[in-house]
Chains A and B, each alone.
Chain A
Amino acid sequence: MLAKRIIPCLDVRDGKVVKGVNFEGIKEVGDPVECAYEYDQQGADEIVFYDITASHEGRGVILDVVRETAKKVFVPLTVGGGIKNVDDIRNTLRAGADKVSVNSQAVQNPQLIKEGADIFGSQCICVGVDAKMISPNKWTVYINGGRIDMKIDLIDWVKKCEQLGAGEICLNSIDTDGVRGGFDIPMLKAVVDAVQIPVIASGGAGKLGDFADAFLKTDCSAALAASLFHFKELTVGQVKDDCRSKGIIVR
């Protein structure tokens, strides 16, 4: 049986791990290569680097981070943030990433998903989606780190991503992100039901049981968290033990 994945995410700026709440109040918390290695030791099924480097010049730094990590961490690595075109995808994969996560750029230029999937294969194109509720069971897609409402219906968008060749959706709820009250189950359920590709739950994990909750209440394939793991409130191993005790298959 396919195991549910637990994915720690590292927000990286200028080569350093940082963490903010609701995309604001950012502070540095460590070295990404060391953090990734530590997560691997804890049993992480995959590691995501989310690059929030603002300047174009700083972009090369994340590739060095990936290159160094890939020499000592032997689980899949995903890089998101700032990927604008096919060359960015190629450079990121060649640095040692297994997948890229495209977000705002894909909303503004959906063909990026198709081009990426056609050239490199669907398996390495993850579409990151930030969404917010406008009314019960209705959500719209946001870009630029949750700042701009694109007024695009979430369900229409994820279906379009799948058609264009996305291999996976990483769904981040702006409503629950940073609030630490659990994943956004209604939003997650709606997206999982709408597509056949794997969906990663993101935004809102605040305690041990939140991960198992997402797996028991929806058919999501994976759950992602950043701050919980960064601040060592929980280890990946503890989360997996909790899932296992509730009958969920984990590695």
Chain B
Amino acid sequence: MIAIIDYGAGNIFSVKNALDHLGYESNLTDKKDIIAQADAVILPGVGAFPWAMNMLELSGLVDVIKDAAVTKPFLGICLGMQLLFEKSYEFEERKGLGLIEGYVDRITDPDLIIPHMGWNKLEINHRCKLFDGLGEDEYVYFVHSYKAFCDDKSLYSYCEYGSRVPAVVGDGKYVFGCQFHPEKSGRTGLRILKNFAELKA
């Protein structure tokens, strides 16, 4: 069973719909014991970083998330990916979960249309299991105005938007993050979710 952490953020049903479609059991939950028992955990999210961290702290989920991230496959999606980093400067400097080294800040290029909204091409930096079965020309759906700044070793994939925008990041072990929405990225996104669901602790 995959636990999808429900802390009141955005359209989380889409993640469950995608897992249902792929035939994986999942549970939208804010319960610590369910997250602790799950085979894998997904941290979704749409909205603002400080608000989301406040919600996670208020619901007392930070410790169980940190435990899960070192013991079983863990995937942050969109804002959920950004929360994996040490800190963000969205509205204010705010501490994140600190599961991957790096920080999150605004995409600032004045010539770019912001938010970065739409389908962009995945460029592979370091291969990881999430890319199994993907071809050369794979597009996924992004919608965000902030991006991650991280070391090369954590950067599995990026896309070009003015500069390199981290698309898939990870800690080299159980933790993965997707800036795009795999649950909204057609066949490519479904394949990435399937690859994640097949990972074993």
Contacts and interface: CB of A to CB of B under 8 A. Distances in A.
Contacts of B112: 196
B189 A197 contact: no
Given A123-B143, A198-B113, A251-B139, A2 B13 contact: no
A120 B143 CA distance: 13
Contacts of B20: 71
A70 B14 contact: yes
A75 B185 CA distance: 6
B14 A1 contact: no
Given A1-B120, A198-B115, A222-B118, A98 B11 contact: yes
Interface in B104-126: 110, 112-121
Interface string A193-208: 0001110000000000
Q: How many A residues are at the interface, by size bracket?
A: 20 to 34
Interface in B7-34: 10-11, 13-14, 17-18, 20-21
Contact of B113 (A71, A97, A120, A197): A197
B172 interface: no
A97 B11 contact: yes
B17 A96 contact: yes
User: Which of A76, A197, A219 is packed against the most chain B CB atoms within 10 Å?
Assistant: A76
Contact of A197 (B46, B114, B139, B183): B114
Contact of B145 (A40, A71, A98, A122): A122
Nearest to A95: B13
A160 interface: no
B13 A96 contact: yes
B196 interface: no
Contacts of A196: 110, 112-114
Contact of A123 (B144, B185, B186): B144
Q: Which applies to chain B's interface (DSSP): helix, strand, loop or mixed?
A: mixed
Interface in A93-127: 93-94, 96-98, 120-124
A93 B11 contact: yes
B161 to A, nearest CB: 6
A3 B113 CA distance: 13
Contacts of B77: none
A40 B13 CA distance: 19
A43 to B, nearest CB: 8
Nearest to B111: A196
Contacts of A251: 119, 139
Contacts of B120: 1-3
B190 interface: yes
B48 interface: yes
Contacts of B121: 1, 3
Contact of B115 (A45, A71, A94, A123): A123
Given A70-B14, A72-B21, A74-B21, 6 more contacts: A2-B120, A74-B18, A98-B143, A121-B47, A121-B48, A251-B119
Instruction: For the complex of A and B, list the 6 residue pairs with the smallest distance between their C-beta atoms, beginning with the closest.
Output: A251-B139, A251-B119, A3-B119, A123-B143, A121-B47, A2-B120
